Structure 1
Amino acid sequence: MKNNKKFEENVQIDEILEKYDRESTYRKKLGKWGWIVMFLAVSLTLFHLYTGYRGAFEARIQGPIHLGTALGLIFLLYPIKKGMQRKQHGVPWYDVLLAFIALSVGYYNVIFYNELVNERIIFGYNTPDYIVATLGVLLVLEATRRCVGLPIVIVAGAALLYALFGNFIPTKLFAHGGFSWGELTTSLYLTAKGIYSTPIQVSSTFIFLFLLFGVMLIKTGVGQFFNDLAFALTGRFTGGQAKAAVVASSLQGMVSGSSVANTVGSGSFTIPMMKKAGYKPEFAAATEASASTGGQIMPPIMGAAAFIMATYTETPYSQIMLAAMIPAILYFLGVFLGVHFESKKLGIVGVSKDKLPNFKKLMIERGYLILPLVVIFVTLLSGKTAARAALIAILVSFLVSLIRKENRMTPLDLINVFEEGARVALPVIAACGSAGIIVGVVAQTGLGGRIADGIIALGAGNLILTLFFTMIACLILGMGLPTTANYVITATMAAPALILGLDVPVLAAHMFVFYFGIVADITPPVCLAAYAGAGLARANPFMTGVTAFKLATAAYIIPYIFVMNPQLLLIDYKPLLLVIGVATAILGMIGISSAMVGYLIRKTYLWERVALAVGGLCLITPNQIVDIAGIVIIVAILFIQSRRPQEARGMDHVSLSQ
């Protein structure tokens, strides 16, 4: 009976993942082709381990091997239409053919590397080059459609049309001379200016290894350890079940880079528990979605786009990681505050201490599981490259798995991990390939500069207005694009408007667009992480999205704070001013979170909610007078509520200190 229940839960999780996470729609019943998939996947992983150790090949060799093998795997694993993976057994002949062509086209760049680099510059491209370039571009788009989704393909397709027919655009702002199909495709596929530009270069050197590390770490049993640790730390306090979900998701977010996968993985355990404690299904799902979405901004392993940011901004990844630390803590604190105020409002208390894991015992028995994360953090800070840090962490993860018998990796387990590591990387590789098409078009047509000028003009030179329009663009793109592609596009088009037009520090501008590309997953009307959580909770999807937005409202303010006060990103900071900046940001989030939930230490009246929101917003600007005004407003509401008669408290019998 227990096994049947577990089986039903796993089926439900798979169905939700396949519905909301395009990356999970791969074939499970491969038949004899499973051996070919395993061979290609393990070979791809071994290639990256080798180049991570000895150093990467030249970009136009490393990239084609990386992308070409990935495209072959995508056509073998992902069906032409979503849903067919459940009906098909084996791989249809046309996908086998496409996989073979994709591998051939990918390795064409490697086999004819010398000719493409030397002879073609003098004598020009030949007919086979044009055919291969055309096939390469089309196969990248089709592979991306299968494992990532249609929206990014539409954007890349629009970029191609713009490059081809830019000479027909009437307005001078966006018009250009136009390119022929041959010029465009050879530039995009046979040089390092398009598909093999920065996104694929970073994917083929850093990102793959970090994704493999995440898979290795999960195999050590760290997920359950994080859940137990979260309950040991927060379970006994007000709303302990929901607070534990936030903490557990923040910890697991350091390993998983997918909002939807993190929501479903953690939520299968935390959401039923929150519902049982007395939370509405919508709130339980929203809490998990909001916390899980923040995983991509949680160091040391952030979303794949963070590695591309390091290259774009010419900043070591270790510095990116440190810069993201305070915003990440503030993000999860914002969600944590929303959960706290809602729990106080509902009168939901924590779990009795005797039912919770013992923190000391937990750390003694399984504390060693966090060693790989400590190692990768320290290794990055020591100045080693991201690839070398990932390699060392992968080795430590394997050694850690040997300590307990139930998590010990055998040679067969290691092969399975290598295969899964490659499979997990496929959607990221495809997204980076399509993003490269967009980058190539933007670079060749000068579109990025034109859009940056347009954003500056639209914002009329006002920083807040320009930030607002940039935020809207990021959120709209984020509704359909994966974070990596979203970041690449906005970093190319929107970030320059902030940097060149308004003197925003480079890292702050890039972190701003990166941040809002991520929170798009919990921003209505299209908020896939919230919808996935709603599927687990059997809740109303749209209301779950609205609740997630309310829970994380304070978090939407954080990017504005660090743009106006770059010290929060540890840019030219002074310790005292940094402490003041963090303190005012926390107070501001308290005001905004309590205003959205309708509770501070008592249920709030409408005018109190408005005042708290105003006070919170006053605290986001690094201006002493405005900050003081915000503090006075929040303290005044706190004093007024503390003087309110006891009867007005309702069920809020647990102290705020909890």
Structure 2
Amino acid sequence: MAKADISKFDDDTGPLVAEGADEEVIEYNRRLYEGWVRWAMAAALAIYAFFHIAALNGLSIRDMTGGVVNLPFLPRLPMESWTYRTVHIAGATALGFLMFSGTSFSERTGTGRDRLFSYLAYALMIPALFSLGVTFWFQSLIAAGTSWNGMDPTIQFNERWLFGIPLIGATFGAIALSWVHQRPRTRVNPADLVLVVAALAVASYLVTIYNTPIRATTGTSFAPLGISLAGIAGTALILELTRRVTGLALPIIAGIFLIYVWLGHLAPGVLNSPQIALQRFFSQVYTDVGILGQTTSVSSTYIILFIIFAAFLQASKVGEYFINFAFALTGRQRGGPAKVAIFASGLMGMINGTSAGNVVATGSLTIPLMHKVGYDKKTSGAIEAAASTGGQIMPPIMGAGAFIMAEITGIPYQEIAIAAIIPSILYFASVYFMVDLSAARIGMTGMRAEELPKVKAMMKQVFLFLPIIILIAALFAGYSVIRAGTYATAAAAVVSWLTPYRMGVRSVAYAFQIAGSMSIQIIAVCACAGIIVGVISLTGVGARFSNLLLGLAGVSQLLAMFFAMVIAILLGMGMPTTAAYAVAASVVAPGLIRLGIDPLTAHFFVFYFAVVSAITPPVALASYAAAGISGADPMATSFASFKIGLAAFIVPFMFFYNGALLMNAPWLEILQALTTALVGVYFLAAAVQAWLWGKAAGPLTRVGLLVASLFMISGGLLTDILGLGIAVGLILINRTFGPDSKTPLVQGRAD
């Protein structure tokens, strides 16, 4: 499909720097099919995404009399929740193995090695197809009235030798083969076709069993053996797909948790857990306490819905408009492209759902432009990483974090979104002040007017914000998240008709295609996080961490909260936001609640540190993604982004001491808390950037500013007055006794 050029909106628009920003990012291990295979894959992705819209909105095919038509071998809509989640994961897993290679690509085919590996894959296809066929036989037996239970020797034999052993052999054999069998980028690996069949076999069996009363026996000795065997194969498939789409960090963490299941009884102290049998664990891991639990519940509803919404914004070129609008408003200010990154990356990151993914999407544009106006490579990448990470805490969507929190806590979504307003303002204000003061310190200017879109022309197109406005209005009007997201998605298509790039049937199909493509990574991540959550639930390690926090609180509550912060960051390292929060919430949040902290405050505390783990050294996914674009050292970029996002590490501690920061106070107190916290954040930025009121700040002045900022962020009339007094005194002293010249430390603008 031809790419649209947003510059055709208006001849007087001016240069548009965001052209191509909506183009799909191609991962290094993603296959690029050709010919009919390409179109078949595109159709499969589009159908997969549309299936979710249909299922979530209760759509169904009806005959002439109004009756529901159930097509053979296709899921029935609306679907029971466990069945829907199983199909959701199976579809993403099958499509993921077709999209992403397990190893690097090679153009050499027809060699002896290639033929040998292909023959091995075809051999593994036999047991995979056999196990899939057996699931249909099981379906027919159950439909005929066979009582299915885990104690019947015949059923146990059939499940072990006709279904489970062939499935596990094919799964693990094909995974190993996919690591060494290199194929051209345009062709699928036969081993991956085996994994597709294995994923379908797992789903087919589980859908069959979970639609019978036997589902209630999971985790007991009465559970059919097949559930455990399907769980083993399904877990392996999820771990392998997660490795392909995110790298090794998350699968290794999940692997450590799986090992803990069997070795936890040997661990000392708080880590000691009861011994758990293999069959009991795997018969329960693929249930709502594990893979089919809260993380998949959210990925199969809210996350997939907003991925489709983002895809429609991308296909209608609205995303390019957002970035151009940001350039028109802030591009001429000192350090203009950096401020554009704050605005655009925050807005798109709110919808995108992954910090690193948003860095790749918007950073490819903003990072080179930041470097152009004078920022070094390290700082350019750090600013983009910090801004994209902030999008995950920006209401109303919060990268789907608000919906996950609502799912876990039972707190209404609207209450969570409102509570996030002030913390997100403080975060982005801090990043803005950091950027502005850094630009002032090195004497940086902005971009020239002739390099930027014209504000007047951009304002004529402000109606392109309508889909987001409709989304917010519908959510706060009391519509369900699913209905509001569907309306916003439809609005994105309708709005495009007010531009030269009207979305027709082909454009809508393309939007669903890229939605299906974009969803694979986050679905795999959420399913993998479900494995970890299942381990935490079954071993009881979360409750033991709660007891540990209670013990620390007996010494110092601040010490307990600091320990909770460290655990949340460590658990979040290497994980996308949704997975990081889901895991941290299982381990840390219950302990904070037992300390007497309000559930909303406790979960916000955990959520913010899970989010900022993306810019926390040594494993900072967003910073590493930005460094890959800027060409800077990844670790140096991590430390720089950590410094820029410093407020995010301080503000959560203030939630506990000042409820007004979460909108839990009278309006006058909320207004006071916001105002003084903003001033405090400014002084925090001045301390970090060593620049105060047009002059360089010395070491003692910076320490004093840090103290003043903490007083003002913490809230309370006395601390506010004290903090403001310290800051004013430092300003007077610095202006009187500081450097005589107001000239910036470094003059610069790179043309």
Q: TM-score, normalising length from structure 2?
A: 0.79
* Count of matched residue pairs: 635
The 1:83/1:494 distance shift into structure 2, 3 A limit, reads farther
Q: 1:265 to 1:141 in 2, by over 3 A?
A: closer
In the other structure, the counterpart of 2:586 is 492
Larger displacement relative to structure 2 (156-165 or 392-401)? 156-165
The separation in 2 between residues aligned to 1:301 and 1:524, in whole angstroms, is: 26
Alignment-mate amino acid for residue 387 of structure 2 = A
Letter in 1 for 2:657: M
Task: Determine the structure 2 residue equivalent to 1:428.
Answer: 522
Q: By how many angstroms is 1:632 displaced?
A: 1.0
What is the distance in 2 between the residues matched to 1:118 and 1:431? 25
Structure 2 distance, partners of 1:47, 1:488, is 25
1:550–1:597: 8 Å Cα contact kept in structure 2?
no
- Report what 1:308 is aligned to: 404
Separation of aligned partners in 2, 1:617 and 1:82: 50
Partner of 2:718: 625
- For residues 264 and 492 of structure 1, the distance between their equivalents in structure 2, rounded to whole angstroms, comes to 29
Q: 1:54 to 1:557 in 2, by over 3 A?
A: same
Q: 1: distance between equivalents of 2:742 and 2:221?
A: 82
Partner of 1:518: 611
In the TM superposition, 1:548-567 aligns within 5 A as 548-567=641-660
3-state SS of the aligned residue for 2:296?
helix
1:536 is matched with which residue? 629
Quick check: 1:132 aligned with 2:226? no
In the other structure, the counterpart of 1:54 is 58
Q: Distance in 2 between matches of 1:448 and 1:433?
A: 19
1:273 to 364, 369, 378: 369
Query: In the alignment, which residue of structure 2 is the partner of 1:292?
Result: 388
Q: Specify the code of the residue in structure 1 equivalent to 2:734.
A: Q
Select 1:206's aligned residue among 302, 319, 322: 302
Rate the CA distance shift 1:612–1:106 in 2: closer, same or farther, 3 A.
same
The correspondence for 2:44, drawn from 33, 40, 46, is 40
Q: Is the 8 A contact 1:66 1:204 kept in 2?
A: yes
Deviation readout 1:342-398 (Å, 9 max, x if unpaired): 11111223345565433333121x111110000000010011111111111111111
**AA aligned opposite 1:140:** I
Alpha-carbon distance between aligned partners in 2 of 1:588 and 1:268, rounded to the nearest angstrom: 33
- Structure 1 residues 91, 215: CA separation in 2 closer, same or farther (over 3 Å shift)? same
SS in 2 for 1:408: coil
Q: Distance in 1 between matches of 2:552 and 2:362?
A: 41
Q: RMSD over aligned Cα, in angstroms? A: 2.9
Q: Do residues 404 (structure 1) and 404 (structure 2) align?
A: no
* 1:306-385 aligned within 5 A: 306-353=402-449, 356-364=452-460, 366-385=461-480
**Alignment of 1:197 onto 2:296:** no
Amino acid at match of 1:105: V
C-alpha contact 1:259 1:289 (8 A) present in aligned 2: yes
Specify which of 581, 602, 610 is matched with residue 673 of structure 2: 581
Question: If you compute each CA radius of gyration, which structure gives the higher value, 1 or 2?
Answer: 2
Deviates more, 1:237-246 or 1:421-430: 237-246
Deviation at 1:165, TM superposition (A): 3.6
Distance in 2 (alpha carbons) for counterparts of 1:638 and 1:300: 37
Quote how far apart the aligned CAs of 1:83 are.
6.3
Query: Which is further off, 601-610 or 279-288?
Result: 279-288
What is the alpha-carbon distance in structure 2 between the residues aligned to residue 623 and residue 34 of structure 1?
Answer: 61
Q: Which amino acid aligns with 2:705?
A: L
User: What's the offset of the Cα at 1:117?
Assistant: 4.0
CA distance in 2, matches of 1:387, 1:547: 38
In structure 1, distance between residues paired with 2:192 and 2:200? 12
How far 1:94 sits from its partner (Å)?
1.0
CA contact (8 A) 1:512 1:559 kept: yes
Q: Give how far 1:119 is off.
A: 8.3
Q: TM-score w.r.t. structure 1 length?
A: 0.90
**Deviation per residue, 1:29-66 (Å, 9 max, x gap):** 36654345334322221221112212863221111111
Q: Which residue of 2 aligns with 1:386?
A: 481
Deviation string for 1:412-462 (max 9, x for gaps)?
A: 222222121122111211122122222222222221110121233245452
Give, as a single letter, the amino acid of the residue that structure 2 aligns with 1:480.
G
Unaligned runs of 5+ in 1: 4-8
Alpha-carbon contact 2:311-2:511 (below 8 Å) kept: yes
- Taking a change above 3 Å as real, the CA distance of residues 184 and 299 of structure 1, as seen in their structure-2 partners, is same
* Structure 1 counterpart of 2:702, from 609, 629, 640: 609
> Cα gap change, 1:37/1:566 in structure 2, threshold over 3 Å: closer, same or farther?
farther
Match of 2:101 in 1: 79
Match in the other structure for 2:686 = 594
Aligned residue among 338, 342, 350 for 1:242: 338
Cα 1:81–1:307 change in 2 (3 A) is: farther
Partner of 1:6: none
Give the C-alpha shift of residue 495 in structure 1: 1.0
Residue 466 of structure 2 aligns to a residue whose secondary structure is: helix
Percent sequence identity is: 36
Q: 1:608-647: per-residue Cα shift (whole Å, max 9, x none)?
A: 0111111112223233323322111111112223335783
Matched residues in 2 for 1:283 and 1:119: separation? Answer: 54
Q: Verify: 1:187 aligned to 2:284, yes or no.
A: yes
Q: Give the whole-Å Cα distance in 2 for the aligned partners of 1:523 and 1:372.
A: 33
Q: Which amino acid aligns with 2:428?
A: F
- In structure 2, stretches of 5+ residues that fail to align are 4-16, 60-77, 107-181
Write the mapping of 1:118-197 to structure 2, written as runs, cut at 5 A.
124-171=222-269, 173-189=270-286, 191-197=287-293
